[in-house]
Amino acid sequence: MKIKLLAIAALGAFATACASTPPAEDTTPVEPPRSVEPADTGSNQPAGPVPGTTEHFVQTAGDRVFFDLDRNDLSAEGRETLRRQAAWLASYPDARILIAGNCDERGTREYNLALGARRANAARAYLVSQGVDPSRISTTSYGKERPSCTQSGERCWAINRNATTSIVGSSYTN
């Protein structure tokens, strides 16, 4: 008998604890959002990167060309990126660049340094063929030492197989 009373009391307490009353509905009127006009700062600066800067170069020309595994020949997409880089460099004749060849993590350090150098030189040769003065272009190889993506797997390896162009000297660099 005591067990039944205890069970009924527990069931009653449980049912009461689970019951809830819905919260009172908020009847405060909500004001529709107002459009916000940008503050006039008095400057007429264009949106986006300043022309001639590294950011402008990356946005308008692209800074990387990618390579297949164990290859240093330029793809059609890579040649198009380099054509845009050459056009950008023609617009900014005092800009100097560094092309760094990079590899994925597979292969020995020595092999990847050599492959990275071949990739950087392939990009350099193409830019020179597009009219860029060779004295404006430096090259280096980082091999597998400076990966853009640090995970192991084909997606990251493909990202790391590249030649990256950086602006290293210009009156515009920031």
Q: What is the DSSP string of 27-84?
A: -PPPPPPPP-PPP--S--PPSSSPTTSHHHHHHHT-SEEE--TT--PPPHHHHHHHHH
Q: What is the mean pLDDT of the chain?
A: 84
User: Could you tell me the CATH number of the domain that includes residue 158?
Assistant: 3.30.1330.60
Q: Is residue 138 part of a domain?
A: yes
* Percent of the chain residues past pLDDT 70, beyond the cut: 71
Residue 24: pLDDT over 60: no
Report, as an integer, the average pLDDT of 125-145.
Answer: 98
Q: Is residue 17 part of a domain?
A: no
Say what the pLDDT of residue 26 is: 47
pTM of the model: 0.72
What CA–CA distance (Å, rounded) separates 88 from 174? 17
Looking at the DSSP bridge assignments, the partners of residue 137 are 97
Residue 35: pLDDT over 70: no
Q: Is residue 38 part of a domain?
A: no
Q: What are phi and psi of 81, to 5 degrees?
A: -60, -45
Say what the pLDDT of residue 46 is: 62
Residue type, 48: G
pLDDT-derived band at 17, boundaries 50, 70, 90: low
Residue 80: which domain range?
Answer: 49-168
Of 156, 155, 134, nearest in space to 144 by CA: 156
Residue 9: pLDDT over 90: no
CB neighbours (10 Å) of residue 51? 14
Q: Is residue 164 part of a domain?
A: yes
Structure token digits, residue 156: 């990251």
Lowest mean pLDDT among 88-102, 109-123, 160-174: 160-174
Q: Is residue 124 part of a domain?
A: yes
Number of domains in the chain: 1
Q: Is residue 61 part of a domain?
A: yes
Q: Is residue 72 part of a domain?
A: yes
Residue 47: pLDDT over 80: no
Q: Is residue 95 part of a domain?
A: yes
The residue ranking higher by pLDDT, 25 or 154, is 154
Residue 164: pLDDT over 70: yes
Residue 96: pLDDT over 60: yes
